[in-house]
Structure 1
Amino acid sequence: MHWDEPRPSRCVEYGIREYTAHLLDIPSTYDRRKGCEYTPVTINGFSLETPTYCDDKGWWSGVFGHWHLDNQTICTPYWASPLEDVGCTGEGSGKHRLQARLWNLQSGDDWDHMCATTPVIIHGVEYPSPTSCHDWGIIYGMYGIWDVDDPNCLSLIDQTGKELAV
């Protein structure tokens, strides 16, 4: 048994790309899943003992291995800079909202998962992911939204414009 040439596929999260290959020449009496799980492969010069997961598509289509390789620069989207300041999330919330569009997504990427795993640094603090992600379509794109602690967002203002104690 051996793998055909592993091919790059989609980005599965920030910095991680999936590669797939078809397992060839499986003896008819051999357990196809074990063949997948125990046949090593070399991808981009790295020897890998087992796939991340196996996909048995049936007798006629075959068995496919899927590997997730990290440090894949093509899978490093980035946030628009500077982040857009949306202001306090609400009176007395203690949270300040920032948002940014996510750029450099590749065809076939899961936009939601790429957004949820793309880090950013805000005021010297690294955030591994946004508070939430919003897909605003092909024209406006995928946006990350961060609600960060801000003591300036703690005060409440009454209807006369007078600040109230919290």
Structure 2
Amino acid sequence: MTRNNPPPYNSTSSSEREPLMPSEPSHLHQSFKSYIRTALIAIIAASIAFIIFASVFSDTCNNSLDPDVRDRIRKDWDIELRQHQEEVLKRIDTQKRWLQEDNDRTSLREQWGTEVEKHNRDVEERLRRDEEHKTHIREKWEREVEEYNRDVEERLRRDEEHKIRIREQWEREVEEHDEEVKEGRRRDEEERIRIREQWEREAQEHDKEMEESQRREEQERILLREKWRREVEGHEREVEKRRKHEEEERLRLNMFWTDPTSHTCTTYATREYTARLVNVPSYYDRRVEACMATPIKIHGIEYTPKWCEDHGPNNVIGHWEVDQHEPDCASYWIWYKDFGCISPGSGQRRIEHYLENIPSGGDWKEFCATTPISFRGMHFTGAEFCFKNNGATWGHWVFDDESCN
């Protein structure tokens, strides 16, 4: 039998004849790679063109020589100019109101000064009359004292002459007239006693007259003072009576406010309100007084006007500055910045804060100066110095600090 023997070993088989490196790519594979390369180049070229076109378009939109750009800039300038003019008009109106208020206060101050000067002149005139009266009394008293002294001197002179005559007579008749001399001495002594008693009585009467004169002067001063007090009380009663009469007349006419309107914030947590007073008769000539005395309720609280404008019977405008329940007007400080000591050994430190929530149309300087703040255990009613930086409002403080010594 023939056995199936294995095939002989051949060292040059097909597996050994195949090379280890891959064979050359086919024509289809090369075409695909060329297509990919071309597509990438096209995409890169399109990107570069797009970037160049966007740059040129952006330069064209911002080019100041472009008529459209200049029209747009001119419109923006017109808007800013109108806003500036409105702010200028508002400030001019505010300055006019302030000037009118200053004129009113100046007039009232001059009127008060005139009344005070008149009162002082009256007081000086009364004091002058009192002084003249006292001078007259004093001169009268001095004249009486001089007359009295002259009388006493005259009496003493006569007494002395009488004594001289008696002494001479006594010397001539000493032996013959001892009894008469003794009687004369006794009469002289009685005369002196009588004169002395009379002088004492006159002195007492003079003292009484002086006391009576002083008492009358004091009574006259008291009466003048009481009269002046009654005049002052009468004037005050007249003023109060006039005020009550005006109040009763205002209540009788039933004047009230209408068209209350809120305006911009004027200062920290404070807003301005206006309203028109109605039911004011055309003959009523105290419209401003009625305006200032008529209250209005704002946020449930009654306020009297801060000032009033009289434009006629049906156009009396009241102004209020309300500093309660106005959260939209409350600005506040943020961004605490400590810049350290001003200089070595200065003993002072510098702090700055950023002011937030300034109401639209509000004066940034006013809000900066009136917005309160507390830091480092200290409280301030506002910034010591205010400034603008990149459109933002900043407050500046400098205070003593021992750590900077």
Q: Paired residue for 1:47, among 293, 302, 306?
A: 302
Deviations 1:1-60 (A, max 9, x none): 321232222223222222111223322222221121122211122223x2122233x349
Identify if the C-alpha distance between structure 1 residues 43 and 85 changes in structure 2 by more than 3 Å, giving closer, same or farther. Answer: same
Which residue matches 2:352? 99
Which residue matches 1:149? 400
Percent sequence identity is: 38
- C-alpha contact 1:77 1:102 (8 A) present in aligned 2: yes
Q: Tell which deviates more after alignment, 123-132 or 97-106.
A: 123-132
- C-alpha contact 2:287 2:313 (8 A) present in aligned 1: no
Question: Is 2:328 the counterpart of 1:74?
Answer: yes
Structure 1 distance, partners of 2:323, 2:337, is 30
Which residue matches 2:279? 25
TM-score (norm 2): 0.34
Larger radius of gyration: 2
Deviations 1:96-149 (A, max 9, x none): 11112211011222221211111112123222222111244xx42221111122
Identify if the C-alpha distance between structure 1 residues 94 and 41 changes in structure 2 by more than 3 Å, giving closer, same or farther. Answer: same
Identify if the C-alpha distance between structure 1 residues 116 and 141 changes in structure 2 by more than 3 Å, giving closer, same or farther. Answer: same
Residue 130 of structure 1 aligns to a residue in which SS? coil
Residue 358 of structure 2 aligns to a residue in which SS? coil
Which residue matches 1:38? 293
What residue identity is the alignment partner of 2:259? E
Structure 1 distance, partners of 2:267, 2:353, is 18
Residue 80 of structure 1 aligns to a residue in which SS? strand
- C-alpha contact 1:78 1:103 (8 A) present in aligned 2: yes
What residue identity is the alignment partner of 1:3? W
The structure 1 segments of at least 4 consecutive aligned residues displaced by more than 6 Å after TM superposition are none
In structure 1, stretches of 5+ residues that fail to align are: 155-166
- C-alpha contact 2:292 2:305 (8 A) present in aligned 1: yes
Structure 2 distance, partners of 1:64, 1:92, is 58
TM-score (norm 1): 0.77
